Chain A
């Protein structure tokens, strides 16, 4: 299987291990990732908060670049990149006048021939849970995982078309097939505060604190995420959460692909496991 690949800006800086683990997992599962040529930033929240046309045009240039390279699908591991690319795809497909306007702005043609995927759609819908389960070398027996989906993968439903906007289960099913104990918890689609970390840190500490506390209360050994922004808020801010709430959780937060990769027997060094502020050593000890 072959698919286009849109790493996004975070995967080239603070989320390098998400990039590395995604590539390693896909390689093991026989999926060839082909990077979108000379991709640009999707514009993220600042673009959509500033101007709707800009918020469509920045991702649309990437769609056009992918079309030019003959790609049919592009997979974006970052939940926010996925959300913004998918928005451009859907709005250009549904509204011919929007597409025309976007084409004028990006000075490129769009054929509406590229489909944007998130990492769970690729893993669960395209590759398939059974096919992945067959390749498990180190079952995640006894590992309690809190699957964390956040907002950008799941909502708005008309854009993401995820399995459920507030109670999704695709990651739960995948982790269970790898042998893990998936904990039942209420935080799976709560918002971590996202980019407000740069302008309203106290709000992010509050929201992320509630999420890590809920995961801890549910008995989770680790939180699995598919978003670099969520990773940064949940992992980096646990110290601030402890200071603000008087409760030190130290719940390791890991990218979904790090966890899948470990179950597939890929060496930790190749996955970039451990590049987190909260130590992942207890999780690694349970798997090996």
Chain B
């Protein structure tokens, strides 16, 4: 079937051009959604996402939880009979959402990402304890999160997976250089890389 694009379908053209993936050639076999480890907790399954792009459902997609959940595990692409790399599409959708100022329905993941990247910016490296603690305090479910730590925290110390030394964070020598990289990306991307 040939799809003729009107003005309002420029969303499809943009996604195809930026991702390098021919979204229109998807034949909806749904293998991507069957294999995706996260499709069961997504608001739109991966195969639906491709169809929604074709139909120009930009607002629903760019504010969806689904596009924030892809971690590029590549399971979809390895199974796709049409040879798609769907993660490339997901990356483009997330970038477009940010560039165009869409508010996402997924609150937790972007929050965790910004805490993680904040650590990298301030230290040059990710500090696991800082990340865990700051993430716990910011996600608004402290009691539940602490409860899940109780069974694993003490054994981690007893078994030597973690020690007191791991509480302290250190900056790398080139921390200022790493912070500058963040700054330069922000400048180049017009302030989107936050």
A50 touches B193 (CB 8 A): yes
With contact pairs A200-B41, A239-B151 given, residues A51 and B189 touching in the complex (Cβ less than 8 Å): yes
Q: Which residues of A contact B70 (CB under 8 A)?
A: 49
Q: Which residues of B contact A272 (CB under 8 A)?
A: 160
A276 touches B139 (CB 8 A): no
9 closest A-B pairs by beta carbon, nearest first, are A155-B74, A151-B73, A46-B113, A51-B193, A46-B116, A199-B108, A191-B37, A156-B74, A165-B78
Q: Which residues of A contact B116 (CB under 8 A)?
A: 44, 46
Interface string of A138-165 (1 = CB under 8 A from B): 0000000000000110111110000001
State the CA gap A13–B156 with chains docked (Å).
11
Partner among A10, A151, A155, A193 whose Cβ is within 8 Å of the Cβ of B128: A10
A201: interface (CB < 8 Å): yes
Would you list 20 pairs from A and B whose C-beta atoms are within 8 A, ordered by A residue?
A13-B128, A14-B128, A14-B156, A38-B173, A40-B172, A41-B126, A46-B112, A48-B72, A50-B113, A61-B174, A152-B73, A155-B74, A156-B74, A196-B71, A199-B108, A207-B37, A236-B156, A274-B160, A276-B159, A277-B152
Q: How large is the interface on A (under 10, 10 to 19, 20 to 34, 35 or more residues)?
A: 35 or more
**Shortest CB distance A244–B (Å):** 12
A69: interface (CB < 8 Å): no
Task: Number of B interface residues at 8 Å Cβ cutoff, please give it.
Answer: 65
CB closest chain-B residue, reference A243: B151
CB closest chain-A residue, reference B145: A201
B182 touches A54 (CB 8 A): yes
Partner among A155, A198, A201 whose Cβ is within 8 Å of the Cβ of B75: A155
CB closest chain-B residue, reference A279: B159
With contact pairs A40-B172, A53-B193, A156-B72 given, residues A9 and B127 touching in the complex (Cβ less than 8 Å): yes
Interface residue stretch chosen among B1-9, B52-60, B87-95: B87-95
Partner among A61, A157, A237 whose Cβ is within 8 Å of the Cβ of B178: A61
Question: A residues bordering B, Cβ < 8 Å?
Answer: 9-10, 12-14, 38-41, 43-54, 57-58, 61, 101, 104-107, 151-152, 154-158, 165-166, 190-191, 193-196, 198-201, 203, 207, 236-237, 239-240, 272, 274-277
B124: interface (CB < 8 Å): yes
Q: Which residues of A contact B113 (CB under 8 A)?
A: 45-46, 49-50
Question: B residues bordering A, Cβ < 8 Å?
Answer: 37-38, 41, 68-75, 77-79, 85, 87, 91, 94-95, 98, 108-110, 112-114, 116-117, 119-120, 124-129, 131-132, 135, 139, 148, 151-152, 155-156, 159-162, 166, 172-174, 177-178, 180-182, 184-185, 188-189, 192-194
**Shortest CB distance A102–B (Å):** 10
Q: Which residues of A contact B193 (CB under 8 A)?
A: 50-51, 53-54
Partner among B37, B112, B172 whose Cβ is within 8 Å of the Cβ of A193: B37
With contact pairs A207-B37, A239-B152 given, residues A40 and B124 touching in the complex (Cβ less than 8 Å): yes
Q: Which residues of B contact A48 (CB under 8 A)?
A: 72, 91
CB closest chain-A residue, reference B178: A40
State the CA gap A129–B121 with chains docked (Å).
40
State the CA gap A191–B125 with chains docked (Å).
25
State the CA gap A40–B181 with chains docked (Å).
11
Q: Which residues of A contact B73 (CB under 8 A)?
A: 151-152, 155, 191, 194
